[in-house]
Amino acid sequence: MKRHKLLLKSIRHPTQVLTKLYKRLIEQKNPDTKERANFLEFLSTNFDVNTKAIYSEYLNSKFKSWYDSKRSKLIKMIGHSSDTTFNFDCETLYLLVRALKPSIVVETGTLYGASSSHILEAIKKNGSGKLYSIDLPHDPNMPPKGFLVREAALDRWELIIGDSAVLLPKLLNQLSHIDLFFHDSLHTFDHMFWEYHMAFKYLNQDGILSTHDVVNLPFLKNAFLIFCERYNLNYWIFRNIGIAFYK
């Protein structure tokens, strides 16, 4: 039955299936332990932080145990885990926010709140900062937005419902500047490049542009890589998270 469904999907959406297989191949070549070590080294090199202590703090936190339990419930409710950001990527965001200590964070695409919750918990641990998230209206047949966000972190979160193509320029203009941007909405070349361009204009000099789903088939245009090269940015990719800032 599973093979039959995979065959139908391959016929209808060949690029999506090939991309998923390509990502799995990369994951096999670069296991989480190796990627995490590379990311911790990146943080140590670029920020004045004790990365091992921060990662240990995360692993032993009440939030981590709460999140794992809540995510398990979510997977049982929806029947799969493909709609939620993978744990490695969430950990990367938590560590990045703890190291950067941003005052204003903007993200597009939150769904059940996997990435949002990790950004919020890191902000809460830092003792300052706020997250602004833009996401499409809730599907009444699915778990609510922010299902994976703890109530204790809600005071640092503003969830804005609507299309980022309309709302992102308005929000950025209202904020006037941001410290961290995270893209996780529509993953098409044009939309990703447009969001990067919009956010980059409002990014502080020492701010960071980050994005999900940067791994792409080699023969397809990669919005993140092309954007970074065009604007002469330093960039890194850890698993499926892209991070860039001024040289």
Q: Give the pLDDT confidence score for residue 25 in this predicted structure.
A: 58
User: Which residues are paired to 106 by β-bridges?
Assistant: 132, 181
Local structure of residue 240 (DSSP, 8 states): T
What percent of the chain is modeled with pLDDT above 70?
A: 85
Show the domains of the chain with their CATH numbers: 1-30 (no CATH), 31-246 (3.40.50.150)
pLDDT value, residue 117: 98
Is the pLDDT at 21 greater than 60? The verdict is no
Inter-residue contact 99 to 47 (CB < 8 Å) = yes
Could you list the beta-strand ranges (E) of the chain. Answer: 104-108, 130-135, 157-161, 178-183, 203-212, 233-238, 241-246
pLDDT score at 8: 45
Length in residues, the chain: 247
Q: Are 240 and 89 in contact (CB under 8 A)?
A: yes
The pLDDT value recorded for residue 20 is 58
Count of H helices and E strands in the chain? 10, 7
Residue 199 CB neighbour total at 10 angstroms: 23
Residues in CB range of 133: below 8 A, 6 or more apart: 106, 107, 108, 110, 116, 157, 158, 159, 160
How far, in Å, CA of 30 to CA of 20, rounded?
15
104 forms beta bridges with 130
Q: Checking DSSP bridges between strand 241-246 and strand 130-135, what pairing results, if any? A: unpaired
Task: Dump pLDDT digits (tens) for 189-216.
Answer: 999 999 999 999 999 999 999 999 898 7
Q: Average per-residue pLDDT in the chain?
A: 89
Read off the pTM. 0.89
Alpha-carbon distance 154 to 35, whole Å? 31
Identify the three-state secondary structure at position 1.
Answer: coil
pLDDT tens profile 70-82: 999 999 998 876 6
Residue 137 pLDDT exceeds 90: yes
Strands (E) across 56-175 are located at 104-108, 130-135, 157-161
